Amino acid sequence: MTPVRIGLAGYGRGGRYFHAPLIGLAPECALAAVVTQNPRRRAELAQDLPGVPAVDSLGDLAAAGADAVVITTPLDTHEALVREALALGLPVVCDKPFTPDAPSARALIEAAERSGVPLAVYQNRRWDADFRTVRALVSSGALGEVISFESRMEQYPPAEGFATTGGGVLRDFGSHVTDQALQLFGPAAAVYAETHVTSNGFDDGFFLSLRHAGGVVSHLRGDWALRGAPGPRFLVTGSAGTFAVEPDDGQAAWLLSGRSAGDEAFGTVPRERWGRIYRGEDVEPEPVPAERGRWSAFYSAFARAVRGEGPLPVDLRDAVAALEVLDAARASAARGQVVRLG
């Protein structure tokens, strides 16, 4: 099909390293232009992608013939920019965190439904190699009946300090790990959370416990100031075995290093980093070949949806469900109590 011309609003860390390369990698898409008025960002764009123009506004982007736009700007700008894009008739991808809370997300979704313009939330971590592997194992029943699920998203402090534009780690990393848990095990019935809050009011770490309506318990951790050794990325315990896999499938580190997303090895996991199933003390752990990470699959699916050839890659009801959990988590952490969801 004719590639969907996608504009990018923002060229910071997310836009430069994660969105622009993946839009370029998806054969159904083409990067049309970048909205930024920042001179430094414009210089970086000219260096990275000499043929891609910089424009001043979403209106300029629409006038230049863009078919859609990706909002990858700070959290407090999302709502206004999404509404502006909808008013211009531009299908939208909004980076996570989508909005600060579930009520504001519902309001944006209703605006999109009234306008008839497609809106999707960027949940690229559904296409992580390790998550795709876990999803396949759970679906196949290889672990038996799942009892508990542990998920950790952690990183050592970045050299430039903490970026607070995502609204804190509970909203940022929490958007990913919560979405993944809900995808695997369905709605949450009860939430308990603890957060670590710095002197400036920014939460840089959290522990989140979900009891799913189906009975599985998920323990989710996020840490933006890792003070010790990282734990396993996933630990899934079932009646027939436990699957453990090391942190991170490598896609983020690959892109941040400046390597090309078009390289054949992008998204692959070497054998020595495959996860293993443990079935007992006297049974040799069983290596599980890793699925390939495919972050660009989000953009391929989004382009097909824009052309009317398939569903959006992320159902907007999923975005609301995740934010309801995160809203409950903030309330739980403040009160020190379990919060039950309807």
State whether 114 and 183 are in the same domain.
no
State whether 131 and 79 are in the same domain.
no
CATH no. for residue 263? Answer: 3.30.360.10
- Full strand arrangement of the beta sheet holding 4-9: 54-55, 29-35, 4-9, 68-71, 92-94, 119-121
Using alpha carbons, select from 234, 252, 256 the residue that is nearest to residue 243. 234
Per-residue pLDDT of the chain (342 residues; tens, 9 = 90+): 799 999 999 999 899 999 999 999 999 999 999 999 999 999 999 999 999 999 999 999 999 999 999 999 999 999 999 999 999 999 999 999 999 999 999 999 999 999 999 999 999 999 999 999 999 999 999 999 999 999 999 988 765 655 666 678 999 999 999 999 999 999 999 999 999 988 788 889 999 999 999 999 999 999 988 877 888 999 999 999 999 999 878 899 999 998 999 999 999 999 999 999 999 988 999 999 999 999 999 999 999 999 999 999 999 999 999 999 999 999 999 999 999 998
State whether 154 and 255 are in the same domain.
yes
Tokens of residue 326, six digits: 């995160």
Tell how many helices (H) and how many strands (E) occur in the chain: 11, 15
Residues 6+ apart with CB under 8 A from 12: 41, 72, 73
DSSP letter at 125 equals G
Q: Decide: 32 and 64 in contact? Cβ < 8 Å.
A: yes
Q: Which domain holds residue 182?
A: 127-294+325-340
d(CA 78, CA 67): 19
Residue ending a domain, among 97, 122, 147, is: 122
- On whether residue 111 sits in a domain, the answer given is yes
d(CA 117, CA 20): 22
State whether 248 and 289 are in the same domain.
yes
State whether 330 and 254 are in the same domain.
yes
- On whether residue 313 sits in a domain, the answer given is no
Give the model's pLDDT for residue 161: 54
State whether 216 and 194 are in the same domain.
yes
State whether 206 and 258 are in the same domain.
yes
- On whether residue 320 sits in a domain, the answer given is no
CATH no. for residue 98? Answer: 3.40.50.720
> Cα torsion at 63, 64, 68, 70 (round to 10°)?
-100
- Residue whose pair of structure tokens reads 């999404």 in the numeric block: 82
d(CA 75, CA 190): 26
State whether 139 and 274 are in the same domain.
yes
- On whether residue 240 sits in a domain, the answer given is yes
- On whether residue 308 sits in a domain, the answer given is no
Using alpha carbons, select from 103, 76, 16 the residue that is nearest to residue 94. 76
Residue ending a domain, among 87, 122, 157, is: 122
d(CA 105, CA 320): 6
Residues 6+ apart with CB under 8 A from 264: none
State whether 280 and 146 are in the same domain.
yes
State whether 290 and 147 are in the same domain.
yes
- On whether residue 221 sits in a domain, the answer given is yes
- On whether residue 90 sits in a domain, the answer given is yes
The tally of domains found in the chain comes to 2
Tokens of residue 200, six digits: 């400036």
State whether 133 and 69 are in the same domain.
no
- On whether residue 102 sits in a domain, the answer given is yes
State whether 174 and 113 are in the same domain.
no
Residue ending a domain, among 122, 137, 156, is: 122
